[in-house]
Structure 1
């Protein structure tokens, strides 16, 4: 991969090289997981399975397609050098994206999150429902959907508002990076009150197939990731709180039913809520290390992939440190008189 980047670097702008490195690092992670060590270990079977790995990472479909494309381009280069068998790149079938998926902003904007959560909190009908509680938790923690579905009722302490994320692969709830993503987080007062209300009024006392009690169960037991996505598509429908931005009316909109909510241009899946939450937490002034500890990531990943402030937010983050600087008030040590105290 380094050879490929070095030889192709002259054809790319800086941002493209960073993008290629990021995308190829994902393939490196996949190869490490599958114990693929050399080019001779690559087969159509394990190259094709890279798509399954990407789909399990809670990434936007447009991101999956982009990383598939980068891997295919790299594999074509290897084929041209006679390093792998011809046609190996064909094992990756790139996702077909519609126009909305190619152009949509895969982040729940903090202003939209504020609008939605204010609606849920003030609604006698919706406050404390499952979709409200899940949205509160995803937003205030910034966790992945696989982390949320792994939570048991016993992982929440109503006395302190603390949540425990634990890796339990033997009972089908592995965290993305296993034990390294285990952590405790705490909820602030309002999300905690919402979760308490959900548990008291809405949560069904259902066990999963391993006898565990999911914090957010379905009638069948523990939700699958597609179910969590469906909840969030419904929870982020703007017409719940305000007039439809697309000129439709909620009573007869084809996007309102559960099976069609993902087609609404304004709804967002869990990974978009995670991105928005991480940006919001950074805008609040939390450093990347703190946010990473809560969200289950590394500070470098937070900075590179998830933290997506706009220019105004970026300015506000550094305003306090930079708005008072002045040449006569901030002297370099070499400018000081050697004899001065």
Structure 2
């Protein structure tokens, strides 16, 4: 087994060098299109959908319970539950409501009502991202991220030089990336889509300084053009 599979890599703390590779919007949408066509409302589909559309951390997406989802009103409640094995990185400061689109809500509903295994975790809660053994593990989240971000998943060629791209060994592919790359890409896409920085900061639960220093992949020219659109009349 490779290092990525055997070591539970911690999420980066504020101030650490989080800037690295990221998934761009076109690639993410191609991945979601494949999942929607061939694995609709599956555990993997829901996982990748949430990671991309919300930009949350791995620990956050893992912490969500079925009861935290309100598909009718269109939001997910994120709660800090250290006593139940699902703490948030920023503790109670990380608690918030995350708005979701009608399309995302519909997919979550189809997962919950049609395909969810109905299993509980060790604390008697029903996790949204559940396997038949309970709450999805961090390693399972990572492996699913590696699997869908390998170029072959969307029909592209891989340049990594690794022959074995089976599910258990896909982490060896240098072209496959971790869930954190989805988070970075999601945050960057929000910024490129002119979502105000304070909104992105609150949604992703990251400070403005850390957002700019570690997560914003927009170029200086892109940032200037985004500012210009708000300053045309000045």
Shorter-chain TM-score tier: 0.7 to 0.9
| Paired residue secondary structure (1:115) | helix
Question: Which of residues 246, 254, 264 is equivalent to 2:164?
Answer: 254
Partner of 2:11: 57
Partner of 2:62: 149
Partner of 1:310: 219
Question: Which of residues 116, 121, 126 is equivalent to 2:31?
Answer: 116
Q: TM-score, normalised by structure 2?
A: 0.86
Question: Which of residues 85, 95, 103 is equivalent to 1:190?
Answer: 103
CA 1:313–1:167: 2 relative to 1, 3 Å:
same
Q: CA deviation at 1:235?
A: 2.1
What is the correspondence of 1:75-114 to structure 2 with a 5 Å cutoff? 105-114=20-29
5+ residue gaps in structure 1?
Answer: 1-53, 68-103, 331-341
**Alignment RMSD:** 2.7
Q: CA deviation at 1:221?
A: 1.2
| Paired residue secondary structure (1:174) | coil
| Paired residue secondary structure (2:77) | strand
Q: Return the index of the structure with the highest Cα Rg.
A: 1
Partner of 2:3: none
Between the aligned partners of 2:144 and 2:223, the Cα distance in structure 1 is: 31
The answer on whether the counterparts of 2:75 and 2:100 sit within 8 Å (CA) in structure 1 is: yes
Number of corresponding residues: 226
Between the aligned partners of 2:12 and 2:65, the Cα distance in structure 1 is: 20
Q: CA deviation at 1:223?
A: 2.1
Between the aligned partners of 1:157 and 1:266, the Cα distance in structure 2 is: 36
Partner of 1:276: 185
Q: CA deviation at 1:178?
A: 0.4
| Paired residue secondary structure (1:262) | helix
Partner of 1:135: 48
